[in-house]
A and B are shown apart, each in its own frame.
Chain A
Amino acid sequence: MSKTLSAKSHSLPAKVWAGYALLALALLVAPFIVGQVGGNAWVRILDFALLYIMLALGLNIVVGFAGLLDLGYIAFYAVGAYLYALLASAHFDYHVSAWIILPIGALLACFFGAMLGAPTLKLRGDYLAVVTLGFGEIVRLFMNNLDRPFNLTNGPQGISGIDPVSVAGYGLNKGITLFGQHFPSSYAYYYLFLVCMLLVVFVCIRLENSRLGRAWVAIREDEIAAQAMGINTRNVKLLAFALGASFGGVAGGLFSGFQGFVSPESFTLMESVMVLCMVVLGGMGHIPGVILGAILLTITPEVLREVINPLQRSLFGRSVVDPENLRMVLFGLALVLVMLFRPAGLWPSQRRREELEDDA
């Protein structure tokens, strides 16, 4: 935190620039390579990885920076997704542009974030986790049951036929045609999500290195001392909740447009836990770590899904365990191992690693 970004960029050696250039190139061609190797399904997985990066970075503001444990984060994703679904589908026959809905979604999620934050400000740790968990479930149950008395969310069936996101009048669902070859919509959405993800990363880095970022870390380290330094801990914590939620809201809207369908099933507690795992596993409060966590936790289960069944067949001649169950077992095992051997996450910030070593 002691060096600002601007200070760094003035003295970037050529090697680092080359690294960035390579990374940019890799990000640009990634869907084509992945698509060549694994087919369109894997490009979709790549898209989801980008969405999860946005979610994990949003949650990282609350959990990683400000140190507030939130187990209901997926509720904000749901709010963003449903807002998009309601305003851009045949359900109410509104067809508002995505570029209007996404900012509204961010604001609405912000509002929900503050609503969740306000009553829970005095809670810490486990207690906060329980309340946020309840909040996440309440939002999901509302989505599930608001088909009566007036059909707002279409209940468990969800809302389908959602308009795709269009960029400059061009619907991304049409895919892209390059060099006479046609690529499906997942390729087009990849670039939209990539831009959004980079924006989120940028915002996170800027926030981290600001007066607010310092205040969040101060609260995480010692709330009483933070107060004694003139920080209004109530407002600063609320801000963390609201800002974190807004990222979730935007990601939710994008998800809605990409998927064309939303239902309460996409917003279960398991999803909140997954996003939290991405943050914790990657390295709380460390932006590159969180990104790594999100990518690993999106891609690994899919790899396992592809590998488990053929592996079982070749070993036992038939499928012994349902791949879905085995996947969760392996996943749990991986988490336990990481927590045992790298308790601060796979790629922690220097500061966080020390904090955890102190606690141990």
Chain B
Amino acid sequence: MSDVLLRAEKIGKVFGGLKALHDVSLTIPRNCIYGLIGPNGAGKTTLFNVITGLYKADGGTLELNGKSLIGCKPHTIVRCGVARTFQNIRLFGHMTAQENVMVARHTHLKAGVFGAIFRPPAVRREEAACRAEALRLLQYVGIGSQANRVARELSYGDQRRLEIARALATEPQLLALDEPAAGMNPTERETLKNLLLQIRNDGTTLLLIEHDVKLVLGICDQLSVLNFGQCIAQGTPEQVRRDPAVISAYLGSSAA
């Protein structure tokens, strides 16, 4: 296996006359936390949606482990090993936390119509395992005690963590998080930071969109900076922090 998990080259996406993404290229190595930052409207979420199959790229190549993801439907991309969370939390609000995670085990369960109706021992075992795995993931992200609560009743921070648990349940190689720290207080951020590091150490690569620059610079191994749909800088947090183009994008050109 090569060290490259995801390789995107010259990705373009146009909405009407707006070039949301223009020749964006990035390479995500295995076992790292890769940050994607940029001002509002820079195209971060668009790139996310292209990677996870919600949008179809207008051009460019996108490969996971050397296998092209271009033109794949979102559910196929999940099967290939990319899971995601959403910027505006999209939980199944009226299901319990545990059920939310169980839904995400869908592709790892086999029961079809007849399995569901007759519930043979294999299906019973599968369901029990799914239930246990869901609980384990909830404990892993630190909300095990909330398993039987309805998702929308959870606190904001817990909902964010439930989304992560749900995405992890698909057993991704690449976990893409869209602003996971948004709306969290400093304590919650600290726990989240530790959780993300833990996830990476357990062997899942992370792609992170985040506005909290401190968090991003603190945990990311590598970064890409987007502005107006173009990639303006790439490298380690240290390199990016000093990059004049980045400073000008964030603070205005006169500051550079």
Interfacial chain A residues near B95, Cβ < 8 Å:
1, 214, 217-218, 221, 351
Known: A217-B92, A222-B92. A229 touches B106 (CB 8 A): yes
- A168 to chain B minimum Cβ distance, whole angstroms, is 24
Interfacial chain B residues near A210, Cβ < 8 Å:
111, 115-116, 119, 123, 127
Contact B103 A226 (CB under 8 A): yes
Instruction: Tell me if B170 is interfacial: C-beta within 8 Å of chain A.
Output: yes
In chain B between 53 and 86, which residues have their CB closer than 8 angstroms to a CB of chain A?
54, 73-75, 78-79, 83-84, 86
Contact B117 A203 (CB under 8 A): yes
Interfacial chain B residues near A217, Cβ < 8 Å:
92, 95, 103
Using a CB–CB cutoff of 8 Å, the interface residues on chain B facing chain A are 52, 54, 73-75, 78-79, 83-84, 86, 90-96, 98-99, 102-107, 109, 111-113, 115-119, 123-124, 127, 130, 148, 150, 166-167, 169-170
In chain A between 186 and 217, which residues have their CB closer than 8 angstroms to a CB of chain B?
203, 206-207, 210-215, 217
Contact A229 B150 (CB under 8 A): no
Sample 18 A-B pairs with CB under 8 A, ordered by A number: A2-B96, A203-B117, A206-B118, A211-B106, A211-B111, A215-B103, A215-B106, A217-B95, A228-B86, A229-B75, A229-B169, A230-B170, A231-B103, A232-B73, A239-B113, A351-B94, A351-B95, A355-B93
Using a CB–CB cutoff of 8 Å, the interface residues on chain A facing chain B are 1-2, 4, 6, 203, 206-207, 210-215, 217-218, 221-222, 224-233, 239, 243, 351-352, 354-355, 358
Interfacial chain B residues near A214, Cβ < 8 Å:
95, 99, 102-103, 106
Contact B92 A228 (CB under 8 A): no
Interfacial chain A residues near B96, Cβ < 8 Å:
1-2
8 pairs of A and B residues whose beta carbons are closest in the complex: A210-B116, A230-B78, A225-B90, A230-B107, A227-B74, A221-B92, A351-B94, A229-B104
Contact B83 A228 (CB under 8 A): yes
Known: A4-B127, A225-B90. A231 touches B106 (CB 8 A): yes
Contact A227 B116 (CB under 8 A): no
Residue of B nearest to A212 (CB): B116
Interfacial chain B residues near A239, Cβ < 8 Å:
113
Interfacial chain A residues near B104, Cβ < 8 Å:
229-230
Name the residue among A226, A230, A232, A352 with the largest chain B CB count within 10 angstroms: A230
Contact A224 B54 (CB under 8 A): yes
Contact A230 B111 (CB under 8 A): no
